[in-house]
Structures are given as structure tokens and as C-alpha cells.
Amino acid sequence: MPGRFAGRRALITGSSRGIGAATAERLAAEGADVAITARTAEPSGHLAGSLTETAARLAKYGGRVAVVTADLTDEHDRSRIVPEAADQLGGPIDILVNNAAAAMYAPVLDFPLKRRRILFEANVFAPVDLAAAVAPSMIAAGEGWIVNISSGAAHPAEGPPFDLGPHGATIATYGASKGALGRLTNGMAAELEGTGVRVNAVEPRAAVMSEGAQALVGETIRPELIESMEQMVEAIVALCQCPPDVTGQQLVSLDLLDAWGLTVHNLDGTPIGSETADGAA
């Protein structure tokens, strides 16, 4: 299994921490050259993790590592990402994982327009722009993989009465942005049908306790409603290698693992449970 992404060049957004950093490590562990991107390279804000730290973890696997700092909410800034990543990696991007997202919660009718614009720039427009930037070289190569990370928040609440959970309707605008991303995923797949480029979206079935999720909802999520980072990453990397007929899909992590009979691996590519007592594989 190690080396199955050898010769591939991957770009993962939102790679300072969480799902993005974990996905980048898993792809690097399996042979890919990886470009990582976020707004800053060094630690910023109150959350642990940075592009510099992610790059250091990736470097130990021996492949090329590209670091591109850019603000995804700025259309001009994000237009640099794909060209700079391809230049640093020495060739066009084969795999794009649109993981970065802005997560802001507020009542729908009181959500400031400026914040709504940030949500849609980061969660909808940026993924589409990056997909458009990588598509021509993927089409020329006859294959490519675009994976958009979605959210269960995209699904409308049933009611009345509405069972909205701990955040109530404050998650609706964020969910709307992820719903839009899902529909555009399907549309891009339809446009690219027959080119060999696969475009899919995947969401966690349960909460993945990344640094950001821990800060937002960590104290309100029951343990049985949590899935591991490794499970989510397993589903993502499966879609980074899926066949041409798997495209335009809206998939759920744990359901995908079950349907495809996938074994969950550590971020270094070794099967979970293969470690010895002292932690060595």
C-alpha cells in the first residue's frame, strides 16, 4: 500500500491543522508530493498548528513539499495558489482536496452581510476557483481527482417542531454554503464527465474533533457522536484514487468505509492495530 500515490502531486487547502494537515500527511506517507496552503505559515490565533509544522511532518516521508500562503477569501490572492504549488512541485496538480472552510455561526436573520460573504468566498467560491485552475491540466492528462469536504450542516432540519441541536439555527448559513458546494460538486462532475476527472464531496458522519471543532463544539458533543480523524482521512484518500465512474457523488465518511470495505490506517499509512506495544510499527 505505501507508495500508491507515488508520482502524484496533491494540493490540500486548510493544511495548518485538522483534517487538512492529516490528509496531507497521509498522502505524503503514501508517496505523493504535496502542496499545503493556509493564510499564514507560522502559528496564528488561538488554535494550535501551522503550515510550518505540517511541512516538517510531511518532509520526513521524503517527497517534495510545497508551502503556499494565501488568503482564500481574496479572489486575487487565491489565484496564486495553483500556479505556485505546481511550480514548487515541478508539475501540474493531480489531486485537489478543498478542505479549508470558514465556520461562523449566528442567527440567520442577524448574520452580518460581511460575514456571509466571507463564508461563501471561503466555502464556495474558493473551491470552485481552485477546481477551475487545476481542471485544464487534469483534462490534458486524462485523469484527476477533486475532493470537496462538506458537512452534515448542509442538510435541512426536519420540522416543525425543529430539533436543531445545541447550536440551533445559527449553523444554517454555514450549512447553506456547504449545500451550495455540494450542488456545484455535482455540476462540475457533470461538466467534466468523460474527461477522466472525478469530482466528489465527502462529509463526516459524526464529528471529527479537529482543533477547530474542539474549540467550537468540543464540550457539547457526546463521545458516541465522534469519529476519528483517521476514519475521515481514510474516506478522503479513497476518493483521491477512485475510478472514473465515481464522480458527482455526495458521500458520507463512515458509510463509504463500510460500502467499500476499507481498512482504516494511521496517518503514516500503516494499518491501525499494527503497532507493537512500544508504538513502533
Which are the catalytic amino acids?
A: 174
Is 153 within 8 Å of 207 (Cβ atoms)?
no
Q: Grid coordinates 488554535 are at which residue?
A: 47
Determine the Cα–Cα distance for residues 280 and 123; give it in Å rounded to an integer. 39
Rounded to whole angstroms, the Cα distance separating 219 from 209 reads: 11
Concatenated DSSP letters of 34-76: EEEEES-SS--TTS---HHHHHHHHHTT-S-EEEEE--TTSHH
The Cα 132–Cα 16 span in angstroms is 23
Dihedral-angle region of residue 199 (phi above 0 means left; psi in -120 to 50 means alpha; beta otherwise): beta
Rg, the chain, Cα only: 18
All cell numbers assigned to 263: 481498512
Identify which of 237, 228, 236 has the alpha carbon closest to the alpha carbon of residue 272: 228
